């Protein structure tokens, strides 16, 4: 059906453009004389297909326009909801609450969006006057009315009046503190009207948004600090734990010129301290915390008091915290929720800033806020948007080094499936980006991100930890997996190769543990129930010597020593340190790469007496494993989860070798 294909096309066109749609908001529709197709609740315009549209019988839908409903708001909205459901042909899809407004507009196609530029005008003090100046009689302006039946009836009445006065349908309908409706009989015309409308508004904006991003210095201190000296590493993980007393939260930090403007003073914060539209209330609530800077300890003291006061007053944790010198902190139940909060609130900041061109911002009143907060429709949207994870590592923040491929990628994949938020840390950007794309395809409400990192460089490791905190709010588990192997006997091994293997397999474990434990210590200081975990992916070669492989085995033996020593030092801080010692992952690139895999290296090094082919080497190693199988990433991930879940074991080297190495 061509009209429906056009509807899908224009829905995706606007849904994928953040200038028009934030957090999947807005809705679209197509109608003929008998039926109306409208976006169903819980579907995103960006990826919508035919299954994302509710289909309604227009004859039954017209009942809502003709019927007299109770004066009591709760009873009225319940009856309207039931009548809307009765008109719905697709019973498994809940139609948009604005369906009746789509039906009241005579145009075949209706596209309702909340573009930032439009809402800068519609959420301003001079909205009506400025709209009249910009659009003249082209647009129909509707003052703010609580969403639902009352708004629909007002819009319907004003559309009829507009038709009577002008003899045509209004091309543009502007709703104060809400957004814009555009109707036309073709998607081409809809796009043309939107382009013209946005062009007119943008031409009227006097002060453009600040766009220059903050510059961060390359020193170890400023890797974790904003230009004012506030360390994200030393503040945000503590705040995460203050917020996680009723369940582990995910936080995300944004720091840019726009955020800096609203964080810079109480006066600027006030401009974005109240919501401008229903969507903001749904995702960010209606009250936000501002912390006016100071030393890191002063910020934490202020945060603890303000969060406590907030929770006592409202009965839930804040969604948005602004910290002078640190940035905007979004607080979500999941990483996906965090992304939405960050996007929605930054859009609100843009609206507040641009509204200054139209007399300043015009936030919603407390009465309007209370209606939205209690409205069943918005409660449903909030529930749908929340998402859910279910797994043994739910909402845990985990760094896996060397996770772009091989063992590390396999471990990361298992942990993502268990609900973890995973940082893929690796030097290989192309492989890392591909790995993250594949991991996010498996994720539910959790997320994976890639951070380029060199574990043998102290500054790079510190930047990795800062990026982890900015993306997720803290660090629960650090898996030191990155490693290299250069096989060779005493006469073959060069000092350069020996030092490289040692630095990455041994020294880097120290660099990573030092950086990761700082964040974990801070988190545990603010949560008596939390534990941190540092886990080295070691090797069976860390449990017994390895012929013509002494550089690798020596580093791994040393890793066990570091594990035991770190465990003793960090136990008082409730940080467990363990090593997992896998057997051979024969299917991975470390062993099977045809150019430089271990099978090839060991054949060349003569490590297997009498071996003439790579297959001879493979058979030799497989014969030493009682379970007759290689160790898979899934096997190692189970050992990792065991080490994390128990709270009474630290300093251990846990073999996962198929019986090839048995401890006595």
Q: The tokens of 274 are what?
A: 């109240």
Residue among 430, 475, 431, 424 at smallest CA distance from 453: 424
Dist. CA 176–CA 646, nearest whole Å: 55
* CA distance linking residue 467 with residue 64, whole number of Å: 52
Q: Write down the catalytic residue from 261, 552, 586, 621.
A: 552
- For residue 40 the two structure tokens come to 């169903």
Q: Which two tokens stand for residue 402?
A: 């060397």
Q: Name the token pair of 53.
A: 């549209």
The answer to whether the CB of 526 falls within 8 A of the CB of 242 is: yes
552 is catalytic: yes
Apex 210 CA angle, 204 and 214, nearest 5: 170
- Answer for the pair 326, 253: CB distance below 8 angstroms, yes or no: yes
Structure tokens at 176: 């104060």
Q: What single string gives the DSSP state of each residue in 276-345? A: SSHHHHHHH-S--EEE---SHHHHHHHHHHHHHHHHHHHSS--SEEEETTTEEEEEESSHHHHHHHHHHH
Spatial separation of the C-alpha atoms in residues 541 and 539, rounded to whole Å: 5
Query: Residue-wise over 196-218: b if at least 16 C-beta within 10 A, else e?
Result: ebbebbeebbeeeeeeeeeebee
Q: Name the residues annotated as catalytic.
A: 552
């Amino acid at each position: 059906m061509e009209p429906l294909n056009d509807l899908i096309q224009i829905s995706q066109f606007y849904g994928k453009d953040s200038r028009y749609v934030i957090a999947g908001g807005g809705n679209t529709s197509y109608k003929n004389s008998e039926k109306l197709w409208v976006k169903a609740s819980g579907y995103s315009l960006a990826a919508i297909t035919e299954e994302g549209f509710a289909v309604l019988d227009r004859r039954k839908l017209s009942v809502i326009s003709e019927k007299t409903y109770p004066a009591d708001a709760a009873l009225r909205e319940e009856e309207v909801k039931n009548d809307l459901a009765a008109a719905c042909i697709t019973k498994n899809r809940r139609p948009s609450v604005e369906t009746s407004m789509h039906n009241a507009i005579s145009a075949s196609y209706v596209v309702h969006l909340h573009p930032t530029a439009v809402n800068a005008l519609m959420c301003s003090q001079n909205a009506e006057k400025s709209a009249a100046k910009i659009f003249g009689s082209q647009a129909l302006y509707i003052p703010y009315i609580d969403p639902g039946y009352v708004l629909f009836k007002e819009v319907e009445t004003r559309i009829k009046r507009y038709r009577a006065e002008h003899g045509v349908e209004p091309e543009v309908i502007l709703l104060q503190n809400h957004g814009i409706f555009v109707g036309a009989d073709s998607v081409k015309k809809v796009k043309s009207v939107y382009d013209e409308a946005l062009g007119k508004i943008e031409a009227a904006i006097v002060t453009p948004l600040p766009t220059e991003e903050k510059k961060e210095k390359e020193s170890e201190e400023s890797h974790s600090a904003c230009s004012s000296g506030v360390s994200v590493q030393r503040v945000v993980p503590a705040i995460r734990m203050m917020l996680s007393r009723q369940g582990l939260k995910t936080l995300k930090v944004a720091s840019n010129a726009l955020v800096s403007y609203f964080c810079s003073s109480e006066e600027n914060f006030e401009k974005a301290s109240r919501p401008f539209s229903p969507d903001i209330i749904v995702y960010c609530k209606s009250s936000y915390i501002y912390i006016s800077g100071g030393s890191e300890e002063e910020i934490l003291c202020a945060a603890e008091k303000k969060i406590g006061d907030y929770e006592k007053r409202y009965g839930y944790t804040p969604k948005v915290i602004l910290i002078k010198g640190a940035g905007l902190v979004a607080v979500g139940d999941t990483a996906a929720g965090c992304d939405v909060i960050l996007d929605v609130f930054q859009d609100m900041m843009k609206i507040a800033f641009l509204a200054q061109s139209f007399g300043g911002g015009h936030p919603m009143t407390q009465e309007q806020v209370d209606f939205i907060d209690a409205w069943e429709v918005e409660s449903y949207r909030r529930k749908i948007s929340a998402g859910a994870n279910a797994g043994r590592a739910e909402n845990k923040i985990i760094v896996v080094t060397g996770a772009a491929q091989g063992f590390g990628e396999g471990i990361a994949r298992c942990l993502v499936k268990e609900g973890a938020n995973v940082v893929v840390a690796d030097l290989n950007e192309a492989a890392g980006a591909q790995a993250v794309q594949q991991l996010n395809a498996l994720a539910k409400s959790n997320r994976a991100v890639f951070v380029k990192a060199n574990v043998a460089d102290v500054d790079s490791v510190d930047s990795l930890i800062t990026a982890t905190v900015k993306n997720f709010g803290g660090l629960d588990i650090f898996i030191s997996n990155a490693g290299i192997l250069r096989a060779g006997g005493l006469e073959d091994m060069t000092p350069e190769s020996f030092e490289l293997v040692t630095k990455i397999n041994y020294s880097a474990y120290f660099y990573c543990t030092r950086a990761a434990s700082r964040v974990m210590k801070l988190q545990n200081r603010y949560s008596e129930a939390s534990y941190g975990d540092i886990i080295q992916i070691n090797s069976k070669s860390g449990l017994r010597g390895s012929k013509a492989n002494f550089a690798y085995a020596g580093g791994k033996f040393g890793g066990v020593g570091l594990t035991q020593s770190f465990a003793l030092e960090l136990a008082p801080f409730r940080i467990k340190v363990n090593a997992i010692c896998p057997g051979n992952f024969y299917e991975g690139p470390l062993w099977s790469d045809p150019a430089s895999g271990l099978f090839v290296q060991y054949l060349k090094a003569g490590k297997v007496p009498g071996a003439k082919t790579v297959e001879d080497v493979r058979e030799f190693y497989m014969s030493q494993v009682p379970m007759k199988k290689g160790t898979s990433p899934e096997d190692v991930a189970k050992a990792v989860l065991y080490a994390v879940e128990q709270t009474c074991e630290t300093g251990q080297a846990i073999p996962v070798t198929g019986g090839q190495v048995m401890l006595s």
